[in-house]
Amino acid sequence: MRTRPILVFLLFAACLLANVARAADAPHGVRIVVLDAGHGGSDPGACRNGMREKDITLKVVLRLGRLIEQEMPGVKVVYTRTTDKALGATKAADLQARTAVANKAGADLFLSVHVNAAESTAACGVETLVMGESAKEQSYNSSALLENNRDDLIDMSDEHEAALVRAYIQNLQFTYGQYSMALARCIQESYRAGNRTIHGRNLGIKPQLLKVLYGTDMPSVLTEIGFLSNAKERAYLGSEKGLDEVVQALLRGVKQYSAHLSRLRAGTASESRTETVAEKPEKAPAAASEKPAAKTETVHYAVQLLASDKAMPLASARFKGFRGEVKEYTAEGRFRYKYCVGEFAEASAAQRKLREVRKEFPDAFVVRCRGSRIDK
């Protein structure tokens, strides 16, 4: 009988059509987002005037998750916690459990939300942290965090452990490091665009040796949404208006990063098709009326210092000690002009240059270039 082969064919066709439909209905660059509300349970985080960091972060994360699911259909949200609880018996176990949640979920991004505090009541603003080591942290960053947050940092006092961590950071630059920086930039830009920085300074993006980012196998950032130690920001974060503005800023940041990924993938797919054609055996010489084949552009690596929405003179004082070495590149997006130094055939050589550059530009990172364009 031919009935069974026909049924098998129909089942295969139905599955194929379902996969095509799912692809068409998945317009987002991210599929799974893990949201981490900092602290919890017996660990309240920063506390001031009866307000606790663990309560604020949980409110923000739950609201943000609901909005992502509503406004980004098809995107799955996973929470490290949805109640006031710790995820481990010790601080180290708790932080490790948070990264395990993200890794098990196969997430496309990990966003940890925290609230800052400082000894100075004048300190204010928003910042987003990526896994890395700044010049300050090489002296253990004694002024960056309060003593009760010291457990959040990786201890670099052991030389062997420090060597492993630095090797991890170096490898990270060529896996998820650039994507984490892109996510961080989307969030910080969203804070600015949403007027969040009216209530405090834009403290920018900083590399920091955070345990919660160390074990994640995906682009990961930790964002500090304000200072509880600052009276104005404390009142702002304690208000419905303030919380809503913070949540909306984070939502925009996630959406912008998702759109960024979609554009990258579209460009990669197009490039793959082009390279496949280029690798085919040579054809007969083209007729005079046909256009010559496009010239292949060499891939190389460089260190990006700055990005701008407008072209800058290469002799600008903003390039500090690298004036005369800077080359202009372009890329998609609002900040389409990228300013880089060096031109290296190997990523490892660019990484060595990066260590020098970060003495003047702590947020610098390595980029892959094709001709005069940033490749990704």
**DSSP H or E run through 63:** helix 53-71
* Per-residue pLDDT, 166: 56
As given in the structure block, the two tokens for residue 51 are: 């307000």
At which residue do the structure tokens 């960024």 appear?
260
The pLDDT, as a whole number, for residue 146 is 40
pTM higher than 0.85, yes or no? no
Which pLDDT belongs to residue 172? Answer: 53
- Taking each helix axis as running N to C, give the angle between helix 240-278 and helix 178-193, from 0 to 180 degrees, rounded to the nearest 10: 140
Residue 214 is predicted with a pLDDT of: 78
What pLDDT is recorded for position 115?
96
Residue 164: its pLDDT value, please? 56
Cα–Cα distance for residue pair 9/28, rounded to 1 Å = 31
Q: Is 248 exposed, middle or buried (0-12, 13-18, 19+ CB in 10 A)?
A: middle
Residue-wise pLDDT tens digits, 60-112: 999 999 999 999 999 999 999 999 999 999 988 999 899 899 989 999 999 99
State which residues of the chain have pLDDT below 50.
1-26, 138-148, 269-294
What domains can you pick out in the chain, each with its CATH number?
28-260 (3.40.630.40), 297-376 (3.30.70)
Give the chain's end-to-end CA distance (angstroms, integer). Answer: 54
Residue 29 contacts residue 262 (beta carbons within 8 Å): yes
- Beta strand pairing status for 76-79 and 220-227? unpaired
